[in-house]
Chain A
Amino acid sequence: MALWVDKYRPRELSKLDYHKDQAENLRNLCKQSDFPHLMFYGPSGAGKKTRIMCLLREMYGAGVERLRNETMNFTTPSNRKIEVMTVGSNYHLEVNPSDAGMYDRTVVIDLIKQVAQTQQIDINGQREFKVIVISEGDELTKDAQHALRRTMEKYVATCRIILSVNSTSRIIPAIRSRCLGIRVPAPSESDMAAVLQNTCKREGLVLPPELAKRVVDKSERNMRRALLMLEASKVQQYPFTAQQEIVELDWQVYLRETATQIVSEQTPAKLEKIRDRLYELLSQGVPPNLIFRGLVEQLVNNCDMSIKAKTLEFATQYEHRMQNGAKHIFHLEAFVAQFMNIYKKFLAELVMTDDF
């Protein structure tokens, strides 16, 4: 527990730094006997997972924190071996179905169902059910979600499911209606600044408020990112100064540079260079929708008002198509080419109007 993110992570509902009302509600929820399936949703780095862990501790006590890693192997019907890593205690099991990729249905059928079917051995425990935490639940394929819905109902006596998702839009309504949705909004900037200051105090460091604010800005209200950035900045330079450089994410910088290049030149040769950069981003595992988003944000910032709407329109169009396809590079490049097209036209018109 060396990273600040782990070290200073609240472990009890009462020690949460923000959304305290919600914490109170959660504690009340635990006190009641009928605990529903839950779905925590909110942006990344808002504290969903922290709240889930706190909730579990509230229910089961400190035993939940005795975690162990387990790797489970499955064989899909098509005879493919997949490995799923789980983290669990005696009372709960955490799975990340995205490990299995498109075979997550097998995970749901085999693993979750199996766990759900088994009774809790320790009767002395406070609850007679176990909890399965599915992190990144929105990565579940439709098949897996459909496989899940019956399991949720049938084994409700022995098992509760807590989903942690970024957006409910990718969860099928059937699941959504079976869960109690708990929204965990991203912390406000002042909350974040307070957390950062608090952390530094516990570390015995002095953090200038300006730097804290800048870190918060850079982190896009992502608590995890903010803490990691602060820690990285600390390694780079300490004592802190207000104007010191904050470590940024490489891929974001790279993406930004790419967008700048798109605006700077519109030739087929440039398009090819852009393609190389896009390939690079994709191969490094940056999800294509994030690339799309990063590009669009930068391009819209850098272009004239008159073509902003058009850019957005094309972006949505190509992004949608991308979801229906498999080769993301085509769609990304198509969008870039389209933007180059409208941007060039815009420039040409600009020259024309300037002449007259």
Chain B
Amino acid sequence: MDQYPDENEEFELQYQDELELLEDVPQEYDNVVVDGPSTSRQAAAALKQQRQQGGTPTGTVATAAIQDVSRFSNSTLSSPHLSQITFGASQTDAGGGGPVNRRLFGTPRGPTVGRGCSTPLQRLPGIQETAMDTAAPLPNSASEQLQEVGLRGNNKRRLERDLFGDIDDLYHESYEDPLLKKARTEEQRDNEAIERILELRRKLRETGKTVPHDEVSRLRALHDFKMKNLSYQIPTWPFLALQRSDLERLYVRYHSEDYERRQLELLSVRGNQVGSLLGEAKQQVWQDANELVLRRLTSATQPVCAAPAPPSPDMGRLWVDKYKPRKYIDLLSDEMTNRSLLYWLKMWDKVVFGKTFQSKQEQKGANTGGAGGQQLNSFNKRTGKFESNGGWRQRKQRQALNTNVDELGRPMQKVALLCGPPGLGKTTLAHTIARHAGYNVREINASDDRSPEAFKLALENGTQMSSVLNQDKRPNCIVLDEIDGAPRQSIEYLVKFVSDGIYSKVKSKGAKAEHNVLRRPIICICNDIYDPALRSLRQIAFVVSFPPIDAARLAERLLQISHKEHLKTDFGSLIALAEKSGNDVRSCISSMQFFSAQKQSLTLQDVLNNNLGQKDRHQGLFDVWGAVFRIKRPKRQLQQINSNNSEEPAQVTMTNMSVGTRVRNVLDVVHSSGDYERLTQGVYENYLQQKMPDPNFTGICEAMQWFCFSDMVQHQIGRQQNYSIYPYLQYGFVVWHLLFATLAWPKIAFPTRGFEFNQKCTNQLNIFQSLRKGVTTSAQGVGQGTILLLDTVPLLKRILSPQLRSVAIQLLSQKEQYDLRHTIQVMVDLGLTFVQVKSAEGHYVFQTEPDLDTLCAFPGFAGLTLPYFSRQLIAREVDLERIRRAAPKGDATKSTIASVTVSAKKPEAARLPNHLQTLKPKQVTDFSSRSGPKQQLTKDFFGRVTHKTTAATAMDEVKTDAIVKSPIWYRYKEGFNNAVRKDVHLNELL
């Protein structure tokens, strides 16, 4: 009570000028607020003191009382603490509170009312009319006051609502008059009041009648509030006694500080400033309000400004930026995705921050003495737990996050790869989560130089250094945005870097053996995960694919934004917008801003009629094929809403199934992909699998015509570079769609047949070419090109398949011997031989080289039918025959071979070219060492003579063939061994 202004002061104040009074208001009421009377007794004492001063002249007392009250309200208006009380008092009730109220405040005269004091209650009928006031102005003077009251009621309500916003019109109403009051008569004041009311009303109408409709209930609530806080009798609660103009005493309740705070909280919650609840914000508002008051005082004659909410100060800012999520909780993307990424990032904690990361589940498990005590504990136990928990971890399995860690405590997958269509918030997610997990984000995106060198530098800097200048020593987390556009070498480097394949340069010099270990998480972001450049990265990365955002969830967020930005819209149109843009958040917000800048509203019609938010999306091949083979389901929720709203509902619903729409749709989709050749191939390989009622093949024939047509067009384009006929390619898809599309979901397989075919063709061609190259000049009759392939090869397979028994060559019958010789001759002529290869099953098989069996091989037709043994035999013989042919054909060789070689060989040997005669001296050595070479060759590898070989040679003497006689088989193996070197002449081997 001490701090409370004593009666003398207060009494003086009552007689003072309003201006003076107002200047004192803040401090005075600060005091009041802070140190309200703590007990009712103190209040009663104060009242008594006041009563002693009661003998003042009536008139002055009346005005003083009014002023008192008005001051009270003034001060409360400028002070947020008591505003509720006063505003509550200014409201009224249609019910039984009337008499009390009348007694409470008496009948105020015009000016007081006009001053906006808190006594509208005495006019009960008028109060009844308040709701109607705004709509129906009453012209007669008797009701003017009622209007005024009602209007003020409205205004005040608005003021209350906009407590922290539009203090100006509040101020006008309540405080303009007192300044001028002294100089005016009542009539003048009345006129002024009327004018102002009319003015206000006009403005109100202009601003679109923002009066809430639940007036009555609100009034009732406020009246109740007032009833609690004002009393005629001495109340039980702490109070402040006041005397009204009609000398009635009334008691205004004081509240404790706690209560005030609570009320304030309520207020501020009701207001918009969720973020800054208390403290500075309140002070801020307080100051602002005071400033406004002062400003209004200095320029008091300004007209009432009831303009709509002023446009947001930061018009220049993009909404996308403005409403970007800044906290984890704001993220709009799929919770599952967020959490799995966060989990992955948290797994780095051990390396980066040196503290082990344990998920809550694990901790719980550890606490309960469960299975998964340790972080590095087996995965199975955890999965068991995950299963019991359900939730995101189960699904995380699908995301393929390997929760195991390597020896350094890093997660096995050292890179996270976020992928998804644009506008889903991948970059935002990466940034937010990295910051959330305590990292400093370093972003490298497409705008940076990403040549391999620069990329390398950035990576190394990012992972091994930290900023010196920066105050917070947070570890870095590299975010590689738009990585699918980076050069392939850079990505390869990244892969190597991540898999610890990069050793520091020091090591390569041999000084230090430590290599760079990646100790910082790297998050990559891409749109198309199947980009060929990303293939290697994809295998080692933790791939997080972004599911599309739920349209409803997106629309909710959009609605919030639209509220904040005062954009008039509704949920339905926002959902439509979201769906139209393919749930692209960025595109949606930008569209909204566009509409907001244009006309402050966004209706469904706008969304549907404008080309906004539509992206030229790149459609996957399967999407296009799906669109070709499937009739899109015509009804979607959105479309139906649309049909209700638009003028021609019938048309909207009908067009979806009509041919025109389908054609347009197919053309759109096909257009968006553009790769007509592959698309055609896909349709070609899938159309026969589609269900179609086409018993007579008419449809198929028509489709085939179009296939032929598109092939011809493509061929022409390719050949003449005549792209003017390119547009005609797309219409084939329309025909195929109309022929084969069904409502059912089509089964579409990726077209591999054409590719396989091409590969096989190339393969065959290569084999054939090598066969052609091998054909010697003595076999020119087999033809070249297709003749060789089509006429000779199939028959050659038969010719080269003589029936030979699997016995030693000496035991073959005459005919078999002949066949064998013949086969060998043919093979040598055509440059064929058998080589041993390992088959896929691991067996060794002899295969012709070049592989004759694959040429002209049709399923169900036998190739070469020779058994393994015969092939082996022939292979050996062919080798020998080749050497024989290549060797100089002297007398000696001829004489030894003559007995067995076919007669056909003779003329060939006879026709020895002259230039080969120079090699004759070798034959001399051959002659001289006729018995020699056998001696020589009986030595083993290191030159020691072995007895066994002599025995073998003795046995071989029986044989007729000089080559078969030889104990050593010569076979050329590629590569060389220089451990032991010895010159061996060909003749010695033969």
Q: Footprint of B on A, CB under 8 Å?
A: 1-3, 5-7, 9, 44-45, 49-50, 53, 66-69, 71, 83, 85, 87, 96, 98-99, 135-136, 139, 222, 224-225, 228-229, 231-233, 235-236, 238, 247, 249-251, 253-254, 266, 268-269, 271-272, 275, 279-287, 290, 318, 321-322, 324-327, 329-331, 333-334, 337-338, 340-341, 344-345, 348
Contact = CB atoms under 8 A, between A and B. Distances in A.
Interface in B746-798: 753-754, 757, 760-761, 764-765, 768-769, 772-773, 776-787, 789-792, 794-796, 798
Interface in B828-857: 828-829, 855-857
Given A249-B794, A331-B711, A338-B701, A285 B778 contact: no
Contacts of A272: 688-689
A271 B276 CA distance: 73
B718 A337 contact: no
A278 to B, nearest CB: 10
A3 B799 contact: yes
Interface-central residue, B688, B801, B855, by most chain A CB under 10 Å: B688
B618 to A, nearest CB: 26
Contacts of A331: 708, 711
Given A67-B777, A71-B773, A325-B708, A2 B822 contact: yes
A34 to B, nearest CB: 28
Nearest to A270: B688
Nearest to A284: B856
Interface stretch (B84-92, B558-566, B655-663, B690-698): B690-698
B447 to A, nearest CB: 35
18 contacts: A1-B779, A1-B904, A3-B826, A7-B904, A9-B781, A67-B780, A85-B773, A136-B786, A224-B791, A228-B792, A228-B799, A235-B822, A254-B861, A266-B697, A282-B757, A285-B765, A338-B701, A341-B700
A337 B795 contact: no
A117 B701 CA distance: 54
B829 A2 contact: yes
Which 3 pairs across A and B sit closest by C-beta, in order of nearness?
Answer: A2-B825, A334-B704, A232-B798
Contact of B778 (A6, A50, A229, A275): A6
A250 B700 contact: no
B826 to A, nearest CB: 4
Interface of B: 684, 688-689, 692, 694-698, 700-701, 704-705, 707-708, 711-712, 714-716, 718, 753-754, 757, 760-761, 764-765, 768-769, 772-773, 776-787, 789-792, 794-796, 798-799, 801-802, 815, 819, 822, 825-826, 828-829, 855-861, 904, 908, 913
Contacts of B790: 249, 251, 285-286, 290
Contacts of B684: 330
B764 A283 contact: yes
B772 to A, nearest CB: 6
Contact of A326 (B696, B707, B711, B769): B711
B799 A87 contact: no
Given A1-B904, A283-B757, 9 more contacts: A6-B779, A136-B785, A232-B798, A249-B794, A254-B860, A268-B700, A279-B757, A282-B757, A337-B704
Given A6-B781, A251-B856, A326 B715 contact: yes
A284 B767 CA distance: 11
A3 B791 contact: no
Contacts of B795: 225, 228-229, 231-232, 247, 249
Contacts of B694: 268
B707 A334 contact: yes
A96 B785 contact: yes
B781 A5 contact: yes
A280 B856 contact: no
Contacts of B908: 1
Contacts of A44: 783, 787, 791
A322 B709 CA distance: 10
B683 to A, nearest CB: 11
A211 to B, nearest CB: 16
A228 B797 CA distance: 11
A5 B795 CA distance: 12
Given A236-B798, A253-B861, A338-B704, A87 B757 contact: no
Contacts of A222: 791
B779 A3 contact: yes
Interface-central residue, B696, B697, B714, B757, by most chain A CB under 10 Å: B697
Contacts of A139: 785
Contacts of A233: 798
Contacts of A71: 773
Contacts of A87: 777, 780
Nearest to A4: B781
A353 B815 CA distance: 62
Contacts of B828: 2
Contacts of A50: 781
B779 A330 contact: no
Contacts of A253: 858, 861
A344 B791 contact: no
Given A271-B700, A324-B712, A280 B761 contact: no
A206 B705 CA distance: 55
A25 B776 CA distance: 31
B782 A3 contact: yes
A250 B697 contact: no
Contacts of B701: 334, 337-338, 341
Contacts of A250: 794, 856-858, 861
A275 B753 CA distance: 10
A354 B773 CA distance: 61
Contacts of A344: 695-697
A249 B798 CA distance: 10
A266 B784 CA distance: 38
B267 to A, nearest CB: 75
A265 B784 CA distance: 38
Contacts of A271: 688, 700
Contacts of B789: 285
B782 to A, nearest CB: 6
A280 B859 contact: yes
A225 B704 CA distance: 36
B780 A6 contact: yes
A206 to B, nearest CB: 14
A313 B857 CA distance: 32
Nearest to A224: B791
Contact of B761 (A2, A5, A283, A290): A283
A336 B785 CA distance: 28
Contacts of A231: 795, 799
Contacts of A6: 778-782, 829
Nearest to B692: A268
Nearest to A62: B911
B698 A341 contact: yes
B826 A2 contact: yes
A325 B715 contact: yes
A283 B759 CA distance: 9
Given A249-B794, A334-B704, A2 B780 contact: no
Nearest to B829: A2
A338 B822 CA distance: 48
Given A284-B857, A285-B768, A338-B704, A235 B712 contact: no
